[in-house]
Structure 1
């Protein structure tokens, strides 16, 4: 089944390679639509069935078709959110390990231009910072 509607951002891939970016995109969009309580564990703001359905539709539209089929039984957006987190949230550990490896093996002489080196330094530092913030 193809998503025929225009998407707000890239769908979550079946192997979850883009999970960290996808989570941020979903949270931002749900917050903008005042639907973020639908996926939060503890919320003081009760949310109605219509809002839950809207959040569920939004999340399902932005995951790969194979994942939609696999999680077809999930009818609550918070349950789907937790299930996806249990499946893909380990990627923070993987990215942290890769970023540390890249940082330790970063050499100025491996780059043709200073701008390329600076870009790589900024990329690795931002990835390290993101992973350290989300893991603690």
Structure 2
């Protein structure tokens, strides 16, 4: 099932968020010792997909609550784990303003640490349709 979902996501980047949501639910069915290997296999499949940084952010969202330690190539993923991380070269900015560009200013660690293992529909649904 993971292979089929991954194939759909590879060919349809608009589905990355929904893919992550379904994947997170499926991870609850997988034995804990197999999750990290499965996630690494998924990352390997996406290496050939151009501009898959958004997917890596979603994979980090899936992996973190399960306690999986996976490395990501997307620089924004580093912002979550390193509060001193600076996304852009800001050496040209005055020293007193550089603190505004640190990851600790735009990443709320409290929210990140409180994430549930299963991605909720409210996180991936852009528009809420009334009935």
TM-score range, shorter chain: 0.3 to 0.5
Task: Flag the structure with larger Rg.
Answer: 1
Q: Which has the higher contact order (CA 8 A, sep 6+)?
A: 2
TM-score under structure 1 length normalisation: 0.31
